[in-house]
Amino acid sequence: MPFIRLALKKGTSPVQKVAIVQGVHRALVESINMPADELFNLVSEYDPEDFFYDRKFNGVARSDSVVVVEITMRRGRSDAMKKSLYAKIAENLEADAKVSPKDVFIFMHENDYSDWSVGNGQFAMALVQQRGTDT
């Protein structure tokens, strides 16, 4: 179950926020075969004066509306899967949310089942993708 944090420029419209969340989620489902019900995406906004970045780092010309996508998930995806995921996120955000791919900054943290509790205070390692009984 990936956990996503998005940082968006303050003033991003609610419609664009939803499009960004959905674009990232769809990319995860399509690129790494994440189950569709594993949607956990925390969106925060930054004031332009609180986010410092090089607009030309690594030869990419960024605007003042960088979208930061931070992905935390269980380790085990190949580099090819990650490459596909990053490309699909940028593609989806451009198509659905009108975000330039140059403004999409993605990074990932990987960990193991033992690093998660996803409900009821239970150690996720004991559950390993089992479904709960709450409905």
The pLDDT assigned to 121 comes to: 80
Domain annotation covers residue 78: yes
Backbone angles phi, psi at 65, to 5 degrees: -125, 50
pLDDT digits (tens, 9 = 90+) for 9-65: 999 999 999 999 999 999 999 999 999 999 999 999 999 999 999 999 999 999 999
Domain annotation covers residue 133: no
User: Strand 41-46 relative to strand 3-9: parallel, antiparallel, unpaired?
Assistant: parallel
Domain annotation covers residue 57: yes
Query: CA of 9: how far to CAs of 16, 103, 105, 109, in Å?
Result: 11, 11, 13, 22
Report the length, in residues, of the chain: 135
By residue range, what is the domain housing residue 98? 3-127
Name the percent of the chain lying above pLDDT 70.
91
Domain annotation covers residue 48: yes
CATH of residue 72? 3.30.429.10
Residues β-bridged to residue 42: 5
User: Strand ranges (DSSP E) for the chain?
Assistant: 3-9, 41-46, 67-74, 104-111
